[in-house]
Amino acid sequence: MNVHDFTIYDFICRNAEINKDKDCLLFEGKRIGFQEYRQKVDQLAAGLTREGVTRGDRLAVVAYNSDEYMILYGAAAKIGAIVIAVNWRFQKEEVEYVLTDCTPKMVFAGESFQEMISDIQTQIPSVRKLVLLGKGTPQNGVIPFEALYSKQGADAVFEISANDGFVIIHTAAVEGHPRGALLSQSNLVFHNVLSMLQYQLGRDDCYMGFLPLFHVAGLTLALAMMHAGGKHVITEKYDPSETLELIEQETGTILFTFAPILNSLLDKY
């Protein structure tokens, strides 16, 4: 492997070897170690491949934060698929525009967004399947996330370039519509390295992940922490009381904040 082709999946494999059972993700009391995270990524990648997802295909997500969201990111990285991280604050018409524009093969919807996505699906011929991501009960025609896991083919090797696209994040509206910006795997890997240097991140650090995983700041810090071998504490949405409790319980060391968020934390402290 050329050093310039170091991918997101490469550091997932690296951490599975050197960090093994160390906490990688924590979500609603459920802990996933680095080795288990890779296993889930491998099995999901196998399941996606079984469903016909290949390098360059798009997988849209309209959901709140969860451990499954991060597993999907990892599986997409392994097979070279591109995640369309849709802003769940978008109105129905905006979501339809984004999905029509990006032509995803599958859409992963959180419980609160199943009905909306089911309504939109008929207008988007590229979408073959809807998947429930996170907690909840699948509606008619929606398959559960767990159904995609497959042990058969989990050890498959994919030829992926670091220059392959990894995620599409939509920027502010231009001429009335949001515009998708494509980031490659190498964009994120190099950003990880810069973040690790800037913030001195290491395996003893803990990122408080309450920013939405569709947001570039939420995603980049999550990946940088994973790359560094630290822990990512995921919360579905931001809640100041819950955040303060988790900072104390999990010895949180870093978070990304904006003035209103910081003020709400200080008010609760």
**What's the pLDDT at 3?**
53
Cα–Cα distance, 237 to 251 (Å, whole number): 19
Write down the pTM of the prediction.
0.96
Compute how many other C-beta atoms are within 10 angstroms of the C-beta atom of residue 158: 15
Residue pLDDT tens, the chain, 269 long: 555 689 999 999 999 999 999 999 999 999 999 999 999 999 999 999 999 999 999 999 999 999 999 999 999 999 999 999 999 999 999 999 999 999 999 999 999 999 999 999 888 999 999 999 988 889 888 999 999 999 999 999 999 999 999 999 998 767 778 889 999 999 999 999 999 999 999 999 999 999 999 999 999 999 999 999 999 999 999 999 999 999 999 999 999 988 899 899 999 87
**Residue 72 region, left (φ>0) first, then alpha (ψ -120 to 50), else beta?**
alpha
Q: Quote the strand ranges of 128-176, DSSP E.
A: 129-132, 142-144, 165-174
Q: Would you state the structure tokens that stand for residue 93, as one six-digit string?
A: 């018409």
